[in-house]
Amino acid sequence: MNIVLNSEDLITEIVEKNKLKQLRGLNNQKTSLGSSESNDKFITNTNAELGKIARVSKATVQRARRIKKENPEAYERVVKGESSWRAEYDNKRIDRI
């Protein structure tokens, strides 16, 4: 997960690929009104795609990204194997209450 989250180039590439596919899909819809021909599977969620690469769920990616942004110390604990994404995310939620 750490490698995936630190791969800004990978994230940028996925986002750009998503934008291009969405634009192509819009163009296909305009030219083939009413046709169900453009049922291509679009990359609709960067977190889901990153989860596939890291072999974790979309929710885990969301938690990890949030922890990395809001609590770098907790992020390091998880990377070192001292904690889990879920535990650190839940601890953050408890802190807000």
Which of 80, 42, 87, 97 lies closest to 60 in space, CA to CA? Answer: 87
pLDDT at 29: 66
Query: CB neighbours of 85 closer than 8 A, spacing ≥ 6?
Result: 1, 56, 60, 63, 64, 67, 78
pTM of the model: 0.61
Chunked mean pLDDT (size 10), the chain, 97 residues = 81 83 74 47 71 92 91 94 94 69
